[in-house]
Structure formats: structure tokens, C-alpha cells
Amino acid sequence: MRRVYESKLPKEGFDVVSAIDGQDGIDKMKLEIPDLVLLDLIMPKKTGFEFLEEVKQIKNLAKIPILVLSNLGQEEDIERSKKLGATAFLIKSNMAIKDIIEKIKQYLV
């Protein structure tokens, strides 16, 4: 799915920096502070939960909107994500890419 977003989002006018795992994402955020993060919960090296915990402790990254985009949809996962600082929780399998793009636009206004 990462490759799909890497292809579709630039066509909508977004600059995209992608990461291959949770640690790579944090490292890249420190170098190039994004306007928004799309975050999956299932990732190698650091899970999305670990990513959220760490990012929200870094002063200059803590206020960046993070949209969790996952197929995990249990209430516990949603609550935990929000408690750790996620701005929104979107279930991938329930949304078309165009709907996700609209959500991104809402948070970048």
C-alpha cells in the first residue's frame, strides 16, 4: 500500500516522503519535519504504537497531525492510538484512496 500512496499522493499535489519501517519514519521526521503523517500500526522495527509514543515525546514533532491508517479496527487499537496522540484513525479496508486523500486535505487546511 505504501507504493500506492507514493504514486497517488503526488498526483494530488502532495510532497511525499515515505519510510520502510517505524524507526526509518522517526529518523526521516527528524530530518524533514512533515505537515502530516500517515501511519500504519503494523511495521517492522517499531510498531505504530511505539512510533506514536516516541514522536509525541519529541518537542518539535509532537504537534504534527498523525493519521493512523490501518486494517486493525478493534476498539482497543483505536483507543490506544488516540490515547498515544493519533489525530484520527482510519481503517484502510473501509476507505477508498480518494476518501483518504480528502481526509488528508481536511487536516492540512
Nearest alpha-carbon partner for 86 in 43, 50, 44: 50
Nearest alpha-carbon partner for 34 in 99, 98, 87: 87
Q: What is the CATH number of the domain that holds 43?
A: 3.40.50.2300
What residue numbers bound the domain in which 89 lies? 2-108
Q: Which amino acid is at 33?
A: I
Number of domains in the chain: 1
Q: Write the pLDDT tens digit of every residue in 43-68.
A: 999 999 999 999 999 999 999 999 99
Residue 71: per-residue pLDDT: 87
Task: Please compute Rg for the chain using Cα positions.
Answer: 13
Residue 93: per-residue pLDDT: 86
pLDDT bin (cut points 50, 70, 90) of residue 24 is very high
pLDDT bin (cut points 50, 70, 90) of residue 38 is very high
Residue 92: per-residue pLDDT: 87
Q: Write the pLDDT tens digit of every residue in 75-109.
A: 999 999 999 999 999 998 888 999 999 999 999 97
